[in-house]
Amino acid sequence: MTTDTNRPATARVPTSHADLLERPLFAHLATVRPDGAPQSSVMWFDWDGSRLRITHTKSRQKFANLAKDPRLSFSIADPHDGYRSLEIRGVVEDVADDDERASFYKGLQHRYGMDYDVDDIPVRVVMTIRPTKFIATEGGGIVATTRAD
């Protein structure tokens, strides 16, 4: 593994809640609409140890929201304990087209136990998110907070 020294720092995941990123759980992505109202969407995601990656299409509102304001909040609740969750605040640092086979999206399908044809490949993108803050909760209270250096 190589380290890019020019890559901005990311916040560290509280070890007590790292499992929520490793498991194929549903997350909620919150963005800001053009009129200032919040928008929340259920998302699949991939975590590589320092960055989140999600996919969707250029025609969706959340893409327009993040193009205008790349800041976001991403939350994951433990399905076995609704009082245990992880919030990730961050920024979109890269947007790239998925390849001609939608390999990233197909990989997410596999992670989440699905397999179906992708009919929107020409407009499908992969967004890379740099976490700037993690907030871990348990029992209804905050148990850990970390920020980027």
Q: What is the pTM assigned to this prediction?
A: 0.90
Residue 83 CA to residue 137 CA, distance in Å, equals: 7
pLDDT of residue 11: 80
Residue 86 CA to residue 22 CA, distance in Å, equals: 12
The rounded average pLDDT for each run of 10 residues, N- to C-terminus, in the chain (149 residues) is 52 93 98 96 96 95 96 98 97 96 96 94 96 95 88
Assess if residue 80 is contained within a domain.
yes
The count of domains in the chain is 1
Q: What is the CA radius of gyration of the chain?
A: 15
Assess if residue 7 is contained within a domain.
no
CATH number at residue 130: 2.30.110.10
Assess if residue 145 is contained within a domain.
no
Assess if residue 24 is contained within a domain.
yes
Assess if residue 126 is contained within a domain.
yes
pLDDT of residue 23: 97
Residue 144 CA to residue 86 CA, distance in Å, equals: 10
Assess if residue 115 is contained within a domain.
yes
Assess if residue 140 is contained within a domain.
no
Assess if residue 41 is contained within a domain.
yes
Q: Is the dihedral of CA 69, 36, 34, 28 positive or negative?
A: positive
Enclosing domain of residue 114? 15-134
